[in-house]
Amino acid sequence: MSSTVASSPPQNASFGQSQQNVPSIQSLLNSSSNGAQQQPQNVARDTKGKYTLTDFTIQRTLGTGSFGRVHLVQSKHNQRFYAVKVLKKAQVVKMKQIEHTNDERRMLGKVKHPFLITLWGTFQDSKNLYMVMDFIEGGELFSLLRKSQRFPNPVAKFYAAEVVLALDYLHSMNVIYRDLKPENLLLDRHGHLKITDFGFAKEVPDITWTLCGTPDYLAPEVVSSKGYNKSVDWWSLGILIFEMLCGFTPFWDGGSPMKIYENILKGRVKYPPYINPDAQDLLSKLITADLTKRLGNLVNGSKDIMNHPWFTEVTWDRLMRKDIDAPYVPPIKAGAGDASQFDKYPEETEAYGAHGDDPYAKHFVDF
């Protein structure tokens, strides 16, 4: 079974494949096959207005943000568990996030990939927007990394390889993700990744200028307000790999965003002596301000990353099929709405399902 506790409610059962006779992570580290897998076909999915609040029982909060929160819910129809992201319309408008919110809904409606979260549907009331998504039980990679302090080379390589496949797919659809970080990587029940939170994802065939993302992960061309392209995601991949291997980001400085931006523009990276030489070579070719040298931005695109010596052992097609055991399996009870891997939060006090005047309806017609 794959992590998705959910399949399209209310008719289908959860989907996935048997984990019997699945090769171990050593296959990732010892196999010589290196061919990139053909991307899954994009299938347009009907996700608008499929559900209402009365279809679900709200269980608890899984996370909170500037515009709302994510709840664990249970379908009253198939008894399966989902995550519902609730965004307060007034907050979205006040924070000037209308375009990003509509982009998130549109991007999630288009994509279908083993390492991306699935959006099953959206709906709204007069005060809130609702997005029904997979409940991914294993929690954030961020939490695992903090507990581990840093990952061994093979573990970091496993997670990085799954991210590479997901970014390669998004870029093939002209989508820039723009918010890669451990907090946005969830672990499914078998320990494979799902990228979540598409709040900054955008369809960009060529270049864009918007300053958005998380300070530690921003590419220098974003910080300096230049036009940028999909290669900002490959820079962020470099920062992610560095953080997984070291336990900290290369440009962090007391948490002050302005100081971090200065460090990014200086571009000096200090590599600890314990970093694998192949990993350091890859990082030096991802965390570079020179776009004529940054891997992923060259003539061979993502193939240059997949074919780099650090990834030599990765069997990309088997990894795409999740035909390789993850290095860590979350200690959860699968399919039971087990949210033990998520922090606890105070619950929402304002009731959902409000009727009445909706001054913001015109901004969110796609919901």
Domain of residue 120, CATH code: 3.30.200.20
- Please answer whether residues 5 and 134 qualify as being in contact, where contact means their C-beta atoms are separated by less than 8 angstroms: yes
Band of pLDDT at residue 205, cut at 50, 70 and 90: confident
- Look up the domain containing 253 and give its range: 141-320
3-state SS assignment for residue 326: coil
What residues are labeled active site? 179
Q: Are residues 252 and 290 in the same domain?
A: yes
Closest CA to 332 of 196, 191, 202, 222: 191
pLDDT digits (tens, 9 = 90+) for 257-282: 899 999 999 999 999 999 999 999 99
Query: Residue 72: pLDDT above 80?
Result: yes
Q: Are residues 231 and 163 in the same domain?
A: yes
Q: Are residues 288 and 152 in the same domain?
A: yes
- The residue type of 94 is K
pLDDT digits (tens, 9 = 90+) for 206-220: 888 888 889 999 999
Q: What is the DSSP string of 157-176?
A: HHHHHHHHHHHHHHHHTTEE
Is 21 among the domain residues?
A: no
Q: Number of folded domains in the chain?
A: 2
Query: Residue 140: pLDDT above 90?
Result: yes
Does the annotation flag 85 for ligand binding?
Answer: yes
Alpha carbons 232 and 294: distance in angstroms, whole number: 10
Q: Are residues 220 and 91 in the same domain?
A: no
Q: Are residues 133 and 148 in the same domain?
A: no
Q: Are residues 241 and 109 in the same domain?
A: no
Is 25 among the domain residues?
A: no
Q: Are residues 73 and 151 in the same domain?
A: no
CATH, residue 249: 1.10.510.10
Is 7 among the domain residues?
A: no
Phi, psi of 162 (to 5 degrees): -65, -40
Q: Are residues 236 and 338 in the same domain?
A: no
Alpha carbons 36 and 24: distance in angstroms, whole number: 20
Q: What number is the average pLDDT over the span 297-314?
A: 97
Residue found under tokens 């105070």: 346
